[in-house]
Homo-oligomer: A and B are copies of this chain.
């Protein structure tokens, strides 16, 4: 699924990769699970992209590195990554479960174009403040939120000659 960026990014450095693996393997140890090559490969592949990947899309990327890794293992690993905070589900309107990595990454939200399905990330500390305020106001122990804006992206607007 197309994704447009408004910020730069470099692939993760060797050491930040280590750092993330550390988080993952500490989590595995904590819940009594084991370290495997498959999990390593899947984590590395996942961190190398900033896309919003479906399980199948990640599976296809993983398969390029190790064709013997099965879909089921990718599916299960993605769940583990979400458990320890390295991944989080992004609810896009295509209905499929999609994940993005949350390692060394600036907190952001998404605008989704209803015309071309592209998503654009944006940054808004105000949204985070709102979560807090509303939680306090309604006696709700808020831990996270989800905010997405739907509409027509700049490109689609230009394409259809319909200025804002």
Tell whether, in the assembled complex, residue B144 and residue A151 are in contact, meaning their CB atoms are under 8 Å apart. Answer: yes
- For this chain, the copies found in one complex come to 2
A20 at the interface (CB under 8 A from B): no
Interface residues of A (CB under 8 A from B): 6, 91, 93, 111, 113-114, 120, 122, 124, 126-127, 130-131, 134-135, 137-154, 157, 164
Please tell me if the beta carbons of A142 and B151 are within 8 angstroms of each other in the complex. Answer: yes
Which residue from B111, B145, B151 sits with its C-beta under 8 Å from A147?
Answer: B145
* Complex-state Cα separation, A120 to B124, whole angstroms: 24
> Contacts A91-B91, A124-B130, A130-B127; is A138 near B150 (CB within 8 Å)?
no
Residue from the list B114, B140, B146 in contact with A143, Cβ < 8 A: B114
